[in-house]
Amino acid sequence: MTRVAIVTGGSRGIGRAAAERLAADGTAVVIVYAGNKAAADEAVEKIKADGGQAVATQADVGDEEAVAAAFALAAETFGGVDVVVNSAGIMPLGTVADMELEVFDKIMRTNARGTFVVSQQAARTVRNGGAIINVSSSVVGLRFPQYGAYAMSKGGVEALTLILARELRGRDITVNTVAPGPTATELFLDGKDQATIDTLAKQPPLERLGATDDIAEVISFLAGPARWINGQTIRANGGII
């Protein structure tokens, strides 16, 4: 039986790399995207061109009806859901003193509520033997200034992970979080000058930014063979923390 994955935020960045890697592993993939249909369709075509199976569907991850519809599409198209990757996220920056609360609420809706809503559907529908993989950030530990709201949203994701793993006792479903360090994605690079990027790239002992494939490799491991890793947060950051 072919395993089936839902990847939120799957049209770009880490989500897209994860979708492509899971498809290469033989998993049928449902790419959930927020608004960029062209990028999502491009990701689907790339997977199909490489011999994989994929479809795309639009959903606001904070909207429980839209998320339920995405899970229903996975069941109708491929027969069920085995793997869920919570990769949808936004990262507006600002100090605690200056951030507009409207921006804070948007961060929380996508990163915290979105992960909860998707995890709720996953808990109800993922088949025994499956895997739920959340995406956090190493900034939860690094605690850079201006990342307060973002780190707060991702800290909640990490807290949820072990709780959900324990709640799914008896179903052979693992729940883990990957917390990337600085990774060369459009989301990360946006608004940063070259000097800032160079400084961040030198922080890990490996002296480079992460690549999306680095993170996708960890997600692939947690989605497949890593059956004895459960309730954990893996800081995939080259040794930065």
Q: Which residues are catalytic?
A: 150
CA–CA distance, 216 with 124 (Å, rounded to integer): 25
Half-sphere exposure of 51 (CA within 13 A, CB side): 3
Instruction: Judge contact between 177 and 149, C-beta under 8 A.
Output: no
Classified as helix, coil or strand, 229 is: coil
How far is CA 236 from each of CA 113, 143, 180, 205, 206, rounded to the nearest angstrom? Answer: 23, 16, 5, 13, 12
Of 200, 187, 99, 196, nearest to 149 by C-alpha is: 99
Half-sphere exposure of 178 (CA within 13 A, CB side): 31
Residue whose entry in the numeric block shows the structure tokens 């990027």: 197
How far is CA 82 from each of CA 69, 71, 78, rounded to the nearest angstrom? Answer: 16, 11, 11
